[in-house]
Structure 1
Amino acid sequence: MEVAALMGFFGLTGAFALVGTVLAAWMAWRIVEKAGLPGWTGLGAILLTLTGVGTIVPLILLWVFAFMRWPRDEAEPVGSAGTFGYARPGGPAPASGPAVLAGPSMALPDTRGWRLAGALGNGGTVSLSVAGTSGTYALTGAPGGAPTDLCVPDPSVGQPHARLMLSGQRLGLEDLGSPGGTFIDGARLLPEHGPRDISAVRSIRLGSVELSLTRA
């Protein structure tokens, strides 16, 4: 394979040299003829031209072929799957690169619950947790009651005041018509509005109690 490539290379080089020599001889002859030089002078000029061309043209061609990009110069991947690396023929093998990471897998569901926390009018604090993936919870000012009641012990909070609805990763809030009012990020929520998604809400207000909403 390499012998055939070398033979082809030298054959191509010889062909270029022959063509260059013929063209140089023709141009030299034209120059001698137009200049009206004597025969021996013209012959000497032709011989010098042919000698110079015959020497320079192969050198130029050798330079071109030596530094041109060959197909084998292209990088070839090496190594086992899961590494990055390239090597050139005759060169040292590269060090193993970092492992190829697989594409992102399906996002895992967020299993965190919700937390409502805030300060009461009497100086106390309240912190309520809403866990699970489904269910309905009553926000009320009356202590005790059903297991799903979330107590906010403040006179401005109705009994019950509002309803929380949990469905998957979404949390909803519905006002039950308490005189103190229910607010979502400062906007009044009325009973006729129905349940509203508050998953992206920062705070809710029940009466005069401001509760921040976070994931826990």
Structure 2
Amino acid sequence: MGAEIAALMGFFGITGAFALIGTVLAGWMAWRIVEKAGLPGWAGLGSILLSLTAVGAVVPLILLWVFAYMRWPRDEPAPASPGYAPPPPRGPPPPTGPAILPPPPAALADGRGWKLTGVLGNGGTVALTVYGGPATYALTGALATAPTDLSVPDPSVGQPHARLMTAGQRLGLEDLGSPGGTFIDGARLLPEHGPRDISAARIIRLGSVELSLTRA
């Protein structure tokens, strides 16, 4: 409690000192104005009395306002250090909209064909190449007499034995009912099965001749 009373007394003491200084300054300024203007004595007395009442109370308020709003050195922003620059932001800038994924790359057409290679019963070898496109080839044990004949000269291969069909990047095989039989990776292919896709097959057997299927 004593600290609050002391603080109030100090505040009123400072206010009283400002009021006294303002009153003295107001009286002096009023006297100088009256003297310069050459007014009669009663006007000078009235101006002094007015300064001691109204002006004397306003002057301290003006001084307080000046001190409150004047710019002090500590109010000035601290100057930036020479040669200092803020570090750039790390990482990519934040997205400003929904992310748009690029379209997937277009798949290139596979222009390769297929190759059938194997060993005949007499020790000879055979190598056949089939290229893509809408075409049909005949696998036969006889000699080739047409551009679409693929000869596998072995007694176990029928004449004709099977049919190869190409459609784009796919390769099909159809058995034609030969006695030696047609097998795809060990599985028997019968005529009633119709054409079967052998694009992913590895071994084709015609009679007793095994042909490895690879991409040419």
Please indicate the TM-score interval, normalised by the length of the shorter structure.
0.5 to 0.7
Aligned counterparts of 1:144 and 1:199: Cα–Cα separation in 2? 24
How do residues 42-191 of structure 1 correspond to structure 2 at under 5 angstroms?
Answer: 90-91=86-87, 103-191=103-191
3-state SS of 1:183 partner: strand
Residue identity opposite 1:166 in structure 2: T
Aligned length: 127
Equivalent residue letter for 1:186: G
Amino acid at match of 2:157: V
% identical equivalent positions: 75
Greater radius of gyration (CA): 2
Q: What is the CA–CA distance in structure 2 between the aligned matches of 1:173 and 1:150, rounded to whole Å?
A: 13
| Superposed displacement of residue 136, structure 1 | 0.2
Distance 1:137 1:144 in 2: 11
Question: Residue by residue, what CA displacement relative to the aligned partner does 1:6-40 show, whole Å, maximum 9, x if unpaired?
Answer: xxxxxxxxxxxxxxxxxxxxxxxxxxxxxxxxx99
For 2:108, what is the secondary structure of its paired residue? coil
Question: TM-score by structure 2 length?
Answer: 0.54
- What RMSD over aligned residues (CA atoms) do the two structures have, in Å? 2.5
Secondary structure at 1:129 match in 2: strand
Q: CA deviation at 1:92?
A: 6.1
Per-residue deviation, 1:104: 3.5
- Point out where structure 1 has 5 or more consecutive residues left out of the alignment: 1-38, 44-88, 95-100
DSSP-derived class of the 1:212 partner: strand
Work out the CA distance in 1 between the residues paired with 2:212 and 2:144: 23
State the partner residue of 1:200.
Answer: 200
Deviations 1:102-147 (A, max 9, x none): 6531111111101101111111110100013210000001013111
Which letter maps to 1:207?
G
Can you list the C-alpha shifts for 1:150-209, whole angstroms capped at 9, x where unaligned? 000111000000000000111110000110100010011011111111111111100000
Distance across 2 between alignment mates of 1:214 and 1:134: 19
Q: TM-score, normalised by structure 1?
A: 0.54
Task: Specify every segment of 5 or more residues in structure 2 that has no aligned partner in the other structure, as ranges.
Answer: 4-84, 91-100
Q: Tell me if structure 1 keeps the 8 A contact 2:132–2:169.
A: no
Aligned equivalents of 1:140, 1:149: Cα separation in 2? 7
Aligned AA (2:112): R
Distance 1:109 1:145 in 2: 32
SS at match of 2:117: strand
The secondary structure found in structure 2 opposite 1:165 is strand
d(CA) in 1 for partners of 2:104, 2:123 = 48
Task: Give the Cα–Cα distance (whole angstroms) in 1 for the partners of residues 158 and 119 of structure 2.
Answer: 17
DSSP-derived class of the 1:213 partner: strand
The separation in 1 between residues aligned to 2:144 and 2:165, in whole angstroms, is 20
Match of 1:71 in 2: none
C-alpha contact 2:117 2:213 (8 A) present in aligned 1: yes
